[in-house]
Chains A and B, each alone.
Chain A
């Protein structure tokens, strides 16, 4: 288990403030944030490349804050993978064991298992520059695992791959992680990657942890407008809470009123956030729905995408819906079309500290 406690690091003019997070064995924890948010600084501090001003890094119960890199017990797969180009794949995989003087027989069993599991047996005599992107990723992962780390640090390792290969490797990583009950800390700005791989998520902005928790909670209920914007919530609009009754809040947004779940201590001025995939579109004059919010709306624009297209609506305030292409065709969605946009009350998330409208 990794425990990071109040870690404060200065790097040039940048400062990482009081970062705390925990990664239990067998769990993947994603650190999310845009460029310049402090992800790399955190990673470098964990690796021991940057000395912290304050705070502690505890791995498997041992304080590793001041230990040199090679004695920390982290496995590391950087964005560029860091494969040694002058060594064969086999020598890359056994490098760590040789450096640490692990007996050859013990090492061979572990490497053989990992090689067979990841299907890279035919690559052992090749050199990294001759491998494809996917093959290189597999070798990078196996090499890190072969050193039997107590925690695997992944720094956006799948960024350079195409979508299908990336998903294939996500599955492989998830299976390996669960089989080996490995703690993984994934640093990424790829929301889909974090959502697929991680159980818990930490969002870093400007060197501070702004939100942390179960991924569904963080993605579904961002605590601040900046988090919502980073997490790609399609609709963000300021609103005013008119009343709260039996746990439901009525919020004035643009020229309409929405019903949302009320949380304790809800301020009067809020930012209404609605994820595009939570908006259901019906043909105008369609049947009844259980959704508390059924808003007559006019289609302003349809931006085709794969697999989801983004539909921009005027529902009394700017509202964005993500729908599949077949759904777009069935409803014959085009600018000027009138539809009903349905949003369930739990999908209308109210964020305190409303800023200006984000729009698209």
Chain B
């Protein structure tokens, strides 16, 4: 088998795997259950909660990730290697473990003080956002660092010799040239946050209408052996995810042409 055939076969296998998983939902798909799920106040609450939490978590992650990724891309500083290594933590440690670590933190004196005097995270909406934020931050920094790496430092240097301050050069040269990476990082962080389950359930629990996100709702339906309801919620989640990805591709396409 030639390299061309082998690699195309591998690409087809990827499509077959994920396509097959989506198609297999048809076995238990029930239109009436989907209709009921979509109209149910509890499902709508889970969708609203998931969209709001994922958007907040991805936005907050980017606010921290953009400057951090730029520093990792451009500067050599003490602890840089350590920061770079820690970014992989959400990948090597399971989300459930990350959630457990957050829960343990809020049982420490500092965490307890924050809970009492600042923001209450445990079994609260803020806990969902925090759990998703912690899970997606590393990926966001990693993606953005790659985006900044692809913008030649030379362009910033030239901009500064032309009279631009570091901030002006960053906003007029670096940021516009890294915008594709920025959009991609936001969308991937958002999508990852939307599907986040392990850390969320550890920190925020499974309270209906309060901390029940879509993945948590899917888990609860499955746990109660409601396969048709589970499939209906999965269809909702997959539809939201695919629509977001499609919109991103259109947006990125326009960004390239702009």
Report A's interface with B, CB cutoff 8 A.
47, 49, 68-70, 72, 74-76, 78, 80, 82, 84-86, 95-97, 99-100, 143-144, 147, 149, 153
Contacts and interface: CB of A to CB of B under 8 A. Distances in A.
Interface stretch (B28-36, B129-137, B158-166, B182-190): B158-166
A76 B89 CA distance: 42
Given A80-B154, A84-B173, A85-B177, A99 B161 contact: no
Interface string B134-167: 0000000000000000001011011111111110
Interface residues on chain B, size class: 10 to 19
A contact face: mostly helix, strand, loop, or mixed = mixed
B161 A76 contact: yes
B204 to A, nearest CB: 42
B162 to A, nearest CB: 3
B176 interface: yes
B157 A100 contact: no
A86 B176 contact: yes
Contact of A69 (B154, B160, B176): B160
A341 B152 CA distance: 53
B160 A82 contact: no
Given A96-B163, A147-B162, A147-B163, A80 B157 contact: no
Contacts, number: 62
Contact of B159 (A47, A68, A95, A149): A95
14 contacts: A47-B157, A70-B164, A76-B157, A80-B152, A80-B154, A84-B155, A86-B177, A95-B159, A95-B164, A96-B163, A99-B163, A99-B164, A100-B162, A144-B162
A6 to B, nearest CB: 24
B164 A82 contact: no
Interface of B: 152, 154-155, 157-166, 168-169, 172-173, 176-177
B10 to A, nearest CB: 33
A85 B172 CA distance: 12
A194 to B, nearest CB: 22
A82 B157 contact: yes
A70 B177 CA distance: 21
Contacts of B165: 70, 99
B161 A100 contact: no
A99 B159 contact: yes
A290 to B, nearest CB: 52
Contacts of A86: 176-177
Contacts of A96: 162-164
A78 B161 CA distance: 11
B152 A69 contact: no
A70 B158 contact: no
B177 A69 contact: no
